[in-house]
Amino acid sequence: MQKTTVNSWNEWDPLKHVIVGRADDCHIPPAEPALDAKVPEDSDMRGQWGRRPQDTIDEANELLDAFAAQLTKRGIRVDRPTPINHALPATTPDFHTDSQFGCMPPRDVLLTVGSEILEATMSYRCRWFEYLNYRPLLQQYWEEDPNFRHEAAPKPRLTDADYHPDYLSDKIGTEKRLQWAAEKFFVTTEEEPLFDAADVLRFGRDLVVQHGFTTNLKGIEWLRRHFPDHRVHAVNFPGDPYPIHIDATFTPLRPGLILNNPGRRLPDDQRKMFEANGWEIKDAAQPAHNTPPPLCYSSTWLSMNVLVLDPKTVCVEASEVYQMEQMDRLGLEVVPVNLRGAYAFGGGLHCCTADVYREGSCEDYFP
Ligand code: NVA
């Protein structure tokens, strides 16, 4: 078996080794402040919790296995996590919640920067122990790659002081939510550093981090101090009433080209660094669906949650016809992947993976 080298500096260099999540034993967790703030007010998720129905777990696993096989066939090494028992409660001296979440999606928890994989703090109580699903792999990488840096951000306490009580209502309404998003008033407070790995996009020397529900300013400052050789940029998208995880909002495809969700436009002042360096920010194509699948946390914009295999090749969900057409027009070869039946488990093609190795080194794209 080939030994591991951990190395990945951006979202588009040729992918050679990746982790793909599993749906085993995934749960809809019980109510808790950060999670409730994210569930859309008209969602079928409201008030539900418990183990996800077995037929949906089986279907999602079939799709994830098939995606893993598709990647393997293209010469990409694929590793899979080892699910812990997500039915167990999560209890610390500071909080208790009656179940956990799952080992999907890995992108939320693991941030690969160069030869480092960093376990994010996370901001939901039900996801506090989620890193344990990936520990067998990270231990293996540590044994095999003498340069691998396995890091974990300080575990947060996640007491009630981490959450603004104003968000603890299911009757806030979109108008108010949009006003709060524009004011950068999010559910998480600045009590302690919080970030999810899926709020971070890697552009070589630059890390672009979404300030929103799952990542606060202290989390961004923590990343800045942790990666002193990087420039860390906070971004926010005022058009998003439920701002978590950047990868259905802002999607770099190759050096010089980014797709932006047209309803969640990057504000002008934050576009400057891209435009000054000749990067084009294009509106993403519309999703092919009007609603997310049942029991799904995410929006229909998982259409733009694509996995770039190299600067000329991109995996797009197979039913997302408009997104596939747009990729084609942009000169990318499209690899269609069936994944919609796994969306409910936490996201699309970018979400359900985490980079281990992409060819290439740390470049400065914004000199
Ligand atoms: N905020 C996102 C999550 C995507 C991974 C959404 O549009 O649902």
CB 203 within 8 A of CB 277: no
d(CA 265, CA 240): 9
Mean pLDDT of 99-126: 97
Sheet of 110-113: strand order equals 110-113, 116-119, 149-152
Domain range list for the chain: 15-358
pLDDT in tens, 17-63: 999 999 999 999 998 887 777 777 777 777 788 899 999 999 999 99
Position 170 confidence tier, pLDDT thresholds 50, 70, 90: confident
Question: Which residue in 103, 126, 315, 351 is the catalytic one?
Answer: 351
Fold designation for 15-358: L-arginine/glycine Amidinotransferase; Chain A (3.75.10)
Q: What pLDDT sits at residue 43?
A: 77
8-state DSSP, 8: B
Element (H, E) at 60: helix 54-73
349 Cβ contact partners less than 8 Å away, ≥ 6 residues apart: 67, 305, 306, 307, 315, 316, 317, 337, 339
Q: Which one, of 19, 8, 11, 10, lies nearest residue 140 by Cα?
A: 19
Q: What is the DSSP string of 159-224?
A: -GGGB-GGG--S---HHHHHHHHHTT--SB-SSS----GGGEEEEBTEEEEE-SSS--HHHHHHHH
308 Cβ contact partners less than 8 Å away, ≥ 6 residues apart: 11, 12, 15, 252, 253, 254, 314, 315
Ligand 1 atom 7 nearest Cα: 299
d(CA 253, CA 308): 7
Q: Which one, of 307, 293, 345, lies nearest residue 104 by Cα?
A: 345
Question: Is 298 close to ligand 1, i.e. is its CB under 6 Å away?
Answer: yes
Q: What pLDDT sits at residue 1?
A: 62
Q: Which one, of 197, 237, 239, lies nearest residue 215 by Cα?
A: 197
Question: Is 287 close to ligand 1, i.e. is its CB under 6 Å away?
Answer: no
Position 164 confidence tier, pLDDT thresholds 50, 70, 90: very high
Report how far ligand 1's centroid is from the alpha carbon of 301 (Å): 7
Q: Is 196 a catalytic residue?
A: yes
Question: Is 196 close to ligand 1, i.e. is its CB under 6 Å away?
Answer: no
Question: Which residue in 13, 25, 145, 196 is the catalytic one?
Answer: 196
Q: Is 126 a catalytic residue?
A: no
Match 């519309």 to its residue by tokens: 286
d(CA 204, CA 229): 10
Q: What pLDDT sits at residue 230?
A: 98
Question: Is 305 close to ligand 1, i.e. is its CB under 6 Å away?
Answer: yes
Match 């995410």 to its residue by tokens: 298
Match 């259409």 to its residue by tokens: 303
Question: Is 344 close to ligand 1, i.e. is its CB under 6 Å away?
Answer: no
Mean pLDDT of 193-207: 98
Quote the percentage of the chain above a pLDDT of 70.
Answer: 100
Position 111 confidence tier, pLDDT thresholds 50, 70, 90: very high
Q: Is 351 a catalytic residue?
A: yes
For 254, the token pair is 């190759």
Ligand 1 pocket test, pick from 45, 299, 351 with the greatest ligand atom count within 8 Å of Cβ, gives 299
Mean pLDDT of 80-105: 96
Report how far ligand 1's centroid is from the alpha carbon of 239 (Å): 13
Question: Is 138 close to ligand 1, i.e. is its CB under 6 Å away?
Answer: no
Quote the percentage of the chain above a pLDDT of 90.
Answer: 92
d(CA 297, CA 343): 8
CB 77 within 8 A of CB 53: no
Whether residue 259 is predicted with pLDDT greater than 70 in this model: the reply is yes
d(CA 365, CA 233): 14
